[in-house]
Structure 1
């Protein structure tokens, strides 16, 4: 079987651009600040493993699922764009990550505290920030364009590699915060919100143009 290396390299670039590990640091620092290293490692690992499972599922079965549900990619882009737009505004206002303090009772294990925090922050950090409409749409499209099992396997390996890069960025987030302070990270978070809004609008426009091709002809 022939491996489509061009498809794999393009997929790697696209996923790095969409996942953009450095943009996730402000949200991650807000979600894990004040916690011990073991807590942050377990929480980050749990979030990344869950996101990897979601994206790998859509990479392998996304196109089949959409066909079974009779949902085309245009509709998926419009719906996903709406979700991302709402989250972009919350990031811009600084209200994207809100959670209650975890139980710090001595009898509470680190794992139980991690699971408690995980339930609070997986939405939005896991979905839609990491495994969001942009990433899911991208993996579905590239999974559909794969013409061999080996190519799909290498696409999966590439996806895992990108998420490992993101994991390393998250784990170094507290160090970066100590070096830069909180203001640059807060500023980056607001800029990230503006970028998310722009991406959301672009997804919706692309979906609407495909659904209503006459709009494109007008321009």
Structure 2
């Protein structure tokens, strides 16, 4: 059984550009400020685990959803490419993430406080910032393109590895900001936005080529 490494590598680059751990650092520092490291670690793990469940669901079952809705892959690539394109431009402008909710500062038990803080920040940090339209679109498109169960397994492993990287980045976010400041993080985020724009254009070109084959004949 062949492993389609080009598919796996392209998927990893696309997902890394969308999840963009560097971009999440200032957002996470703001959302988890004034909390102890144990609390920050538990909160980050809970958010990442929830996002992993959402993304893996669409990776494995997204193809079936398309079939149920009678949507072909070419059409989804065009629509999904437009979503990714918009997200890429928002990353270039630095407006991809926003937290406007006020977090409670009341003294509570660890588990109660953890659950309450999780409910406060999962939207928008979990959805739509991490497991948002761009990431879900990527799951469905690449899940549809996987040609055997081994490809699907490696795609799943890639999702987990990227989210583990995000988890480690979040819990060390405060230290990273102190060392680097915010400017280098913003520059890296812009680069990821440019990569995502290129990937989204490729998706749309592939979809339009399928829908309008005469364009390439």
User: What TM-score do you get using the length of structure 2 for normalisation?
Assistant: 0.79
Shift of 1:153: 5.0
Residues 143-182 of structure 1 correspond to what in structure 2 (within 5 A)?
145-146=147-148, 152-153=152-153, 156-182=156-182
- Residue aligned with 2:97, SS: coil
Q: Which residue of 1 aligns with 2:57?
A: 57
Task: List per-residue Cα deviations over 1:172-195 (Å, max 9, x = no partner).
Answer: 333333322211001112222222
> Are positions 1:24 and 2:12 aligned together?
no
- Is the CA contact 1:77–1:137 (under 8 Å) kept in the aligned structure 2? yes
Ranges in structure 1 where 5+ consecutive residues have no aligned partner:
none
Map 1:113-124 to 2 at 5 A.
Answer: 113-121=117-125, 122-124=127-129
> Are the structure 2 counterparts of residues 201 and 22 from structure 1 closer, same or farther at C-alpha, using a change threshold of 3 Å?
closer
SS of 2:131 mapped into structure 1: helix
Question: What corresponds to 1:47 in structure 2?
Answer: 47
**In 1, Cα distance between the equivalents of 2:55 and 2:18?**
20
> Which of 105, 111, 118 pairs up with 2:115?
111
Give the C-alpha shift of residue 80 in structure 1: 1.0
Query: How big is the shift at 1:215?
Result: 1.5
RMSD, aligned CA: 2.8
- Secondary structure of 2:88's counterpart equals helix
Q: Structure 2 matches for 1:2-151, cutoff 5 A?
A: 4=1, 6-7=3-4, 9-10=5-6, 12-20=8-16, 24-34=20-30, 35=33, 36=35, 37-100=37-100, 101-107=102-108, 109-121=113-125, 122-128=127-133, 131-142=135-146, 145-146=147-148
- CA distance 1:152–1:193, shift in 2 (3 Å): closer
Answer whether contact 1:47 1:126 (CA < 8 A) is retained: no
In 2, the alpha carbon distance for the partners of 1:152 and 1:94 equals 33
Distance 1:84 1:22 in 2: 8
**Cα deviation, residue 123, structure 1:** 1.0
**Residues matched between the structures, number:** 208
